[in-house]
Structure 1
Amino acid sequence: MTAARGHTSRSTSRPTGRPPLTEERKAEIRLEIARAAVDLFVTQGVAATTGEQIGAAVGVSVRTVWRYFPSKESCVSPLLSAGIDLIADCLRRRRPEQPLAELLDREFADERHALAGPDRATVGALVRLTRTEPGLRAIWLQTYDEAEPAFARALADRAGLPADDLRPTIQAAIFNAALRAAVEHYAWHTADTAPDRETAQAELAQTLRLALGIAAEGIA
């Protein structure tokens, strides 16, 4: 009888259902949804795109889409925020003599990094949409609003200053504004003219260098 009870206990203790998703897989799903959303927004417009269509493009249910994002416009946020931690790390590791305009050169030269990833053309199309889509514009500006404290912490760490010191706060605001202005300038004036991905990458890198150089000069 004891052996039988033990056998029953072992058989009923087996896990049932699917194993929980890892954080890495959740991040992958979020990025897949983001890419699908942008593709649909670009091809047919934001108003004509539904959560059901976004889910179908990825192979997930609309319930899954809304589990990860509160609105269809917010689906694009992973593409916009992917480089924040990378850029903050660049600021933290910047050498004292290194010109600000050269800060992101290594990241653009290395295809493995997020800034040089395959989504650059997609993000450029998305940024162009923020001109005419208020919901997307709000997400775009929110991304930079959330990035600024991360940049300020990185600059404070590098300088050995308290996190609430005004100097890194102001520096982060200037740096953040330069980045946003550069990406918008590229998306609105240059992105469509590049004949291939390599040229587009070089043009965006040059636009960022110019913007960061101007920011480093300060206000005359």
Structure 2
Amino acid sequence: MEIADEAVRLFVEQGVAVTTAEDIAAAAGISTRTLWRYFRSKEECARPLLAMGIDVLTERLRDYWRGGLTLAQAISAIEVPGNPFARHLETLRGLVRLSRDEPGLRAVWLEAHFDAEIVLAGLIAEGTGRSEDDLAVRLEAGMMNTALRVAVEHWALQPHEGTDPPLGTTLGEALQAITRFLDADASTDPGRKRMIHLRPMDS
């Protein structure tokens, strides 16, 4: 994560084109050889940030499915100061903004979501008692993945004036928006758990 933070900081401050692997390695306090041992390109150095974000989000959704929390409470926990990901949110904002115009970073962003879709399929299967190989589960994972990606991009691209909605709020709204699609057929199958269901405090 330290490498990812330093890489994105340098990309934002001086541009991706002029930032070298040597610059990133020096900022992170490692050798260039060590950097190349773990990353295929300088843009790949941002990947740990995205992987950590996906891990944190899936854990929040597990908390929701285990009960005791509303969807809003589970997702908003992303920004609780004690959450290790909270201090990386501004780095994430910078990375997503850069990915619009930098093909290398955009490729890393989209690859991370490709991997996330597999994780989400497993999570949906776990939460609803179905197989992750089920076509419907894979489609639901794709819908959820797209909703989350668009939500993060929407959050990151808003003018940052300190009054914009938190990331957790934006993610929660995106998930609520696709609820009717994700749970549409659950009402016809009494034995199937809903993936996302509205509870009194969810809206």
Smaller-chain TM-score range?
0.7 to 0.9
1:32 deviation in Å? 1.4
Give TM-score scaled by structure 1 length: 0.74
- Tell me how far apart the structure 2 counterparts of residues 96 and 71 of structure 1 sit (CA, whole Å): 39
Any residues of structure 2 matched to 1:128-147 within 5 Å, and which? 128-147=97-116
Of 148, 162, 177, the match for 2:117: 148
2:161 — aligned with what? 193
| Secondary structure of the structure 1 residue equivalent to 2:41 | coil
1:102 deviation in Å? 4.8
- Tell me how far apart the structure 1 counterparts of residues 59 and 135 of structure 2 sit (CA, whole Å): 20
Task: Give the counterpart letter for 2:30 in structure 1.
Answer: V
Q: Give the stretch that moved more between structures: 169-178 or 87-96.
A: 87-96
2:18 — aligned with what? 48
1:82 equivalent to 2:52? Answer: yes
For the pair shown, the structure with the greater C-alpha radius of gyration is 1
Task: Give the counterpart letter for 1:209 in structure 2.
Answer: G
Of 178, 182, 188, the match for 1:215: 178
Structure 1 stretches lacking a partner, 5+ long: 1-30
Of 60, 66, 81, the match for 2:36: 66
Any residues of structure 2 matched to 1:2-13 within 5 Å, and which? none
- Counting matched residue pairs gives 181
Task: Give the counterpart letter for 2:78 in structure 1.
Answer: E
1:203 — aligned with what? 166
- Tell me how far apart the structure 2 counterparts of residues 53 and 87 of structure 1 sit (CA, whole Å): 31
Any idea what the Cα deviations from partners look like across 1:5-52, whole Å, max 9, x if unmatched?
xxxxxxxxxxxxxxxxxxxxxxxxxx1111111111000100000111
1:89 deviation in Å? 2.9
- Tell me how far apart the structure 2 counterparts of residues 142 and 114 of structure 1 sit (CA, whole Å): 23
Structure 2 stretches lacking a partner, 5+ long: 183-203
1:5 — aligned with what? none
Give TM-score scaled by structure 2 length: 0.80
2:143 — aligned with what? 174
Task: Give the counterpart letter for 1:179 in structure 2.
Answer: L
1:217 deviation in Å? 3.2
